[in-house]
Amino acid sequence: MNQKTQIRILPFLFLTALVVATACQKTKPPTDEVLPMDRVTPSPVGTSQTVLHKTFSVKSSVTFPFDIPAHSVRPHLHGIFESFVREVHGASDDTANVDFLIVNADQYADLTGNRPSEALFSVEASHNQSVNLDLPASLDQPVKYYLVFRAAAKGAPKVVEADFQLDF
């Protein structure tokens, strides 16, 4: 190759190398911030879970926490409880009455701190109660709730038989 040919090929080689080099560099697309509630995750829809299936004694107060998983659109709590005096299937009348509450975490903190508060659901002085309650959607974070059973009056300990399910 003569010098004239080399001079003509040099810019061509330089241009080709530049095109190849820039073609190999991948630029990152601009990233948009994705809000947590816009992320797709498995949904609990169509499932259910047992919240409480137990017989227990209530002298003053008994609490059972439960969680609503993230992305629960229409959580529904349903169940029944019956209370007795001293033993299961003993007297189940006004002497066996208990108070029953369903509260969220903030309401529970107020309740345990002896501050005035409301409840999502409450029944005063009952010895037999059926519960059907739609809870708020949980969006992108799980939400904690509490079932609270309290002795309605002083006296003999109460025994409660409870069965609660949560449907999503």
CATH number of the domain at 97, please: 2.60.120.680
Q: Give the pLDDT of residue 150.
A: 96
- Give 91: exposed, middle or buried? Use CB within 10 Å, 0-12, 13-18, 19+: middle
60 assigned to some structural domain: yes
Q: Is the pLDDT of residue 6 over 60?
A: no
Number of domains comprising the chain: 1
85 assigned to some structural domain: yes
d(CA 42, CA 159): 39
129 assigned to some structural domain: yes
92 assigned to some structural domain: yes
Q: Return the DSSP state at 90.
A: S
12 assigned to some structural domain: no
16 assigned to some structural domain: no
Matching residue, tokens 């190398």: 17
19 assigned to some structural domain: no
- 45-83 residue pLDDT tens: 678 899 999 999 999 999 999 999 998 889 999 999 999
The whole domain housing 51 covers: 47-167
66 assigned to some structural domain: yes
Q: Is the pLDDT of residue 129 over 90?
A: yes
- 8-46 residue pLDDT tens: 666 666 666 666 666 655 566 666 676 655 555 555 667
